[in-house]
Amino acid sequence: MLVGFILFYLISFEIYFWIFVGDTFWGVLYPFFGVYGQLIAAAFMAPAFFLARKTSQYSDPLIIEDHQVKVYGLLKTIIETKQLQESERNRLKNELEVISLRLKGVATLKSNIIELTPDDKSRMNIDDSLLYFQRALELSSSAQQNISRMDLQLVKQVIEERDKNKALKYLKEIISHTTVLLGEIVKVFN
């Protein structure tokens, strides 16, 4: 992480210097370093672009999931405090319970995916998340059934997947489905 911060600041300095001076810092020192100045600048900038690209692949699900947890907490508070018919309150609580199970399953999946290494040839141990999603399917209302079935299949694909990027792609899809389910509950209050 420290290396990432150092590279970020070095690259930022190089880019700002390039924008405002017309060349990179090492390029300005060209008379002293010759072509090597340009190579040093490129050596600083290339890893940063690679790291930024790699980091962006892993950051999205984490940010979205944190937002979903906050929305879940807000909806739970609203359902408990707002004047609603008892049948409506129970239906919304059941739908929130499904979302709670999904969020727990996603958290378990996420932690196992982040720990997944290319050398790990064994199947991921994600039985807990599979149980969360199976329980969510059992508790799903008729409106949530299709999404819950699809996500159970996606969880099974994540469990079998050994490539971290593909597993994160499936996880993003599951998270987007959870956002849809949260949106359906929010519509009730609009």
- Evaluate the CA torsion angle 158, 161, 165, 170 in order and state its sign: negative
Count of domains in the chain? Answer: 1
The whole-model pTM stands at 0.62
In this prediction, residue 69 carries a pLDDT of: 84
In this prediction, residue 97 carries a pLDDT of: 92
pLDDT band at 35 (very low <50, low <70, confident <90, very high): low
pLDDT tens per residue across span 123-161: 555 567 888 888 988 988 888 888 899 998 988 888 887
Range of the domain at 54: 2-188
Are 155 and 177 a contacting pair, CB within 8 Å? no
In this prediction, residue 29 carries a pLDDT of: 54
Residue 41 and residue 63: Cα distance in Å, rounded? 32
Half-sphere exposure in the Cβ direction for 14 (13 Å, CA): 22
